[in-house]
Every structure is written in structure tokens, then in C-alpha cells.
Amino acid sequence: MHNLKGRVALVTGAARGIGRGIIEAFASAGANVVVNYLDDASEAQSVVDAVTAYGGEGIICQADVSDRAAVERMVKAAVERFGRLDIAVANAYYSKRELVIEAKWEDVLRTIEVTQFGAFHTCQFAAQQMVKQATSGINDDVMINKPKGNGKIIIISSVHEEVAFATAAAYNMAKAAVSHLARTMANELTPYHINVNIINPGWINTPGERTFSSEEELLKGGKRIPWGRMGMPADIGQAALFLASDEADYITGTTLRVDGGFLGGLRLPE
């Protein structure tokens, strides 16, 4: 079992869905967590309650990740509370499904600001803190379960990075961009032994999917995936837990697709 005892993780967009799945996986491995949320404090608090049940400690932190100053404050709040930051997961996103010729600019801009710029803000401020820890001796002084490296950054991208699905142009653009951001940061941060990796989820059963599909459509669609079901937040959580663990020490700049064979199972129309 992966051990994150004593480590501190920040996950954006963590009040529900994939973010919550990641938080719960980290908490089950002993991490203390910062639960970022946008507008539902009660949902975020329920995640912290789940963390407490695992024996860990969590705090909630409201921030719109498209607001650069708010993200900077959130990272500082994590360090003020726990003294350090070991793991950061850029998960928050926004998506509006529209054909390019019909897309409203405000929807396109919001998608880019949250999904792309929000990931940049999160990763940059987290990396700055991790480099500071790596060069100041903090990792040596206060860690009982000292990690092999000096930090783990994970970007939750999407299979939309790989396939340009219709009605998702802005989201496709943003996910392709953040994946390349992760690869760039992986190259830049290797001297500090800070790992940066990407997870590409497939079709995951989250509350957000109900914005676009009915329960019947989700059930029917899930059966068409080669694995026979939609992915669950816990599936992404376990992938993130592995990448955040010491067992992934030699992995950086890599994309882990977690899709139940979704892309491999795509077929031409009959």
C-alpha cells in the first residue's frame, strides 16, 4: 500500500467528482489535505469529514483558480497550516459544449481561464514552494516519512487532449495546453527531483457529466466502453495516489491514461 503519512496535498476542484476521489485516496494513505472548492462550502466540508474518518487532517480553501492572486493565497494558506506542500493536483476545470461556429466568447474564455490558466497558476505556485523546500533543507528537518523526491505535481488532463471531440473546442485546446505545460515543467524541475505527471481520464461518472447526459444515457454509454462501465472518481484517485507515491519516484513527464479502454475501443460508424 502506498504511504503518504505526514505529507501535505492540495487538490483543486476537490469538493466532488474526480477531485474528491483523489482526496479520499490520498487521505486513505495518510496524507493531510487542502480541499479547494469554488462555491459549495458544505460539499467541501463533507470531504474534510471523510478525511477525518481516515485519521488525517484537512482544511477547506475557497478559491476560483482562474484568479491568480486567490491561488497564491491558497498555497500560502496550505503552508501556513501544515508547514509545507508535498503534492499538488491541478484538477479544477470548466467546460461548455458548443460547436465552434456557435460558441459564445464568454464560454470559451471561461473555459480557458479555469481549465488552462487555473492549472498554470496552481502548478507554478506549488512548484515555487516545492523548490523552496528542496533548497532550504525543509524536507530534511520536519519529515518523519521523508519522500524520495521533493514534490509531486499532477495535472488532470483528459482524453480530449488526444482526440478532438466535437462541441468541445475550448476544452480540447485547454487540455492539450495543460498537458504540454506538465511536460515542460517536468523538464525544468528534474534538477530539484520534483515529479510532474499527467492523468488523462476517459469518461468518468461524475456530477458534472449530468450537466450533459441523463442517467439513462450514462448507463447506456458506459456499457459501450470496452471495460463495460464508466470510470469512477476512485479510479482516478488510485492513479493519482500511485503518481504521488514514492513508488513513482522515477516517473516524470509521463501521461497515464485511465479510460477503461475508451480510446482503444473507438470504432468507425457501422
φ and ψ at residue 87, rounded to 5 degrees? -140, 135
What are 246's three cell numbers?
514514492
Q: Is 155 left (phi over 0), alpha (psi -120 to 50) or beta?
A: beta
Please check the confidence at residue 266 and state whether its pLDDT lies above 90. Answer: no
pLDDT in tens, 181-210: 999 999 999 999 999 999 999 999 988 777
Angle (CA) 149-151-154 rounded to 5° is 120
Q: pLDDT category, 242, cuts 50, 70, 90?
A: very high
In the set 54, 171, 192, 250, the catalytic residue is 171
pTM for the structure as a whole: 0.94
| Matching CATH number, 8-258, of 3.30.70.380, 1.10.3720.10, 3.50.50.60, 3.40.50.720 | 3.40.50.720
Looking at residue 259, its pLDDT comes to 96
Please check the confidence at residue 264 and state whether its pLDDT lies above 70. Answer: yes
Q: Three-state secondary structure along the chain?
A: CCCCCCCEEEECCCCCHHHHHHHHHHHHCCCEEEEEECCCHHHHHHHHHHHHHCCCCEEEEECCCCCHHHHHHHHHHHHHHHCCCCEEEECCCCCCCECHHHCCHHHHHHHHHHHHHHHHHHHHHHHHHHHHHHHHCHHHHHCCCCCCCCEEEEEECCHHHCCCCCCEHHHHHHHHHHHHHHHHHHHHHHHHCEEEEEEEECCECCHHHHHCCCHHHHHHHHHHCCCCCCECHHHHHHHHHHHHCHHHCCCCCCEEEECCCCCCCCCCCC
- Please list, residue by residue across 70-102, b when 16 or more beta carbons sit within 10 angstroms of its beta carbon and e when fewer do: bbbbbbeebbeebebbbbbbbbbbbbbebeeee
Q: What's the rounded mean pLDDT across residues 165-179? A: 97
Residue 8 near residue 82 (C-beta atoms within 8 A): yes
Domain segments of the chain: what residues?
8-258
For the ranges 78-87, 141-150, 256-265, the lowest mean pLDDT is seen at: 141-150
Residue 122 near residue 154 (C-beta atoms within 8 A): no
Q: Is the dihedral of CA 13, 14, 15, 20 positive or negative?
A: positive
Catalytic status, residue 54? no
